[in-house]
Amino acid sequence: MNRIEAAVVEIRRLEENDRVAWEDLWQENLDHFAAPDRARADMPVIWQRLMDQAAPLLGWLVLVQGQAAGLAHVILRQHSFSTAKIAILEDLWIAPFARRHGLAERLVERLVREGRAQGWRRIEWETGDENLIAQRLYDRIATLDPVKRYRVDLD
C-alpha cells in the first residue's frame, strides 16, 4: 500500500486529553497479544506513569487526520557504560486500519530524532520470533543484536 501523506500524520508525545484514544489503542494491543487480565486492570496505573513527568515511561501517539492510529511506549534506563540513557521501545502498536502505510517506520524515525535531541545512547527493542512483518521493517531500519535474552518469571 501507499504511504500516507506526511501532511496528514502527526506523531507527538501523549497528552492528558489523549486518554480515551490511548485506552482504545492499548486495548487493541492487549487483545491482539492475548494479554492477561492483570494488564487490563493495570491500565489506569500505566496511564498515570505515562503522564508523570518524573517517571521513566514515555508515550507517543500517532494521529492520521486527527484519528488515533498508533502508539509507542519507551522506558528510559540508566546504563553502566555511559551516563547517557538507553531507550527501550517497550511497545509499538499501529491500529489495523492504519497498517502498511509506513506509520511504524515514521514512529521509529520520530523516536530516533527525540533520542538524538535528548542525548540517549541508543534505542533498543525486541519482537517475537513469529512477528515476521515487523521484523522485515526492523531488519531494514535497525541492527539486529547478537544477544540472547534470559528471564526468570517471578509471578
What does the pLDDT look like over 61-116, one tens digit per residue? 999 999 999 999 999 999 999 999 999 999 999 999 999 999 999 999 999 999 99
In Å, what is the CA distance from 42 to each residue of 25, 30, 36, 39, 113?
15, 11, 10, 5, 30
* Least confident window among 17-21, 74-78, 135-139, 150-154: 150-154
Cell of 129: 520470533
pLDDT band at 6 (very low <50, low <70, confident <90, very high): low
SS3 142: coil
Cell of 117: 535531541
What predicted TM-score, i.e. pTM, was given to this entire model? 0.90
d(CA 75, CA 33): 20
Answer whether 91's CB lies under 8 Å from 57's CB.
no
d(CA 30, CA 45): 15
Spell out the domains of the chain, with CATH numbers in brackets: 9-125 (3.40.630.30)
d(CA 69, CA 71): 7
